[in-house]
Amino acid sequence: MPMSIPTKSTVQAWARLVRAQHSAHFLVEKALKQNGFPPLTWYDVLLELERAGQAGLRPFELERELLLPQYGVSRLIEKIEKQGYLRRNKCLGDKRGQRLVITKAGEKLRQDMWQVYGPAIEQAIGQRLTSAQTKQLSELLAKLT
């Protein structure tokens, strides 16, 4: 099957998408760091575990939700666990398996981080686009995912 060559506008859209993502991510990470919080990946882990509730998630399920490589998630889990923001429970029916569950301290950290993360999202996107534009952007990006 022959490879198709992207149009100039497709290449331009790609470059702008990557730059916009990088710019927004940098702004959020900077705001979290300035406020003494851990990196955004911690928030993502805690959010997924909070969504899972007391049933928790198995490490491979968390990896799938985060779209990070296994080795990166393993180290991240260890760091977050060491700080007391998640715990490992034995997995019923699988003696070697484990489920990751957010702790109360983890829930509090995630909520505290949101107090910085939310306004950073607003600064990166909400203050630059109208409500109609953000809705349109969301709909366009949904087509790419």
pLDDT at 1 over 70: no
CB neighbour burial string for 105-131, b if at least 16 within 10 angstroms, e if fewer: ebeebbeebeebbeebeeebbeeeeee
Q: Which domains does the chain have, with CATH numbers?
A: 37-134 (1.10.10.10)
Among the listed residues 88, 96, 106, the one whose alpha carbon sits nearest the alpha carbon of residue 38: 106
Query: pLDDT class for 91, splitting at 50, 70, 90?
Result: confident
Residue 5 CB coordination number (10 Å): 7
| 72: confidence class by pLDDT, cuts 50, 70, 90 | confident
pTM (predicted TM-score)? 0.88
Four-CA torsion 62, 64, 66, 71, nearest 10 degrees: 80
Q: pLDDT tens digits for 116-137? A: 999 999 999 999 999 999 999 9
Structure confidence by residue, pLDDT tens digits, 17-66:
999 999 999 999 999 999 999 999 999 999 999 999 999 999 989 998 88
pLDDT of 92 strictly over 80? no
SS3 37: coil
- CA 44 from centre of chain: 4
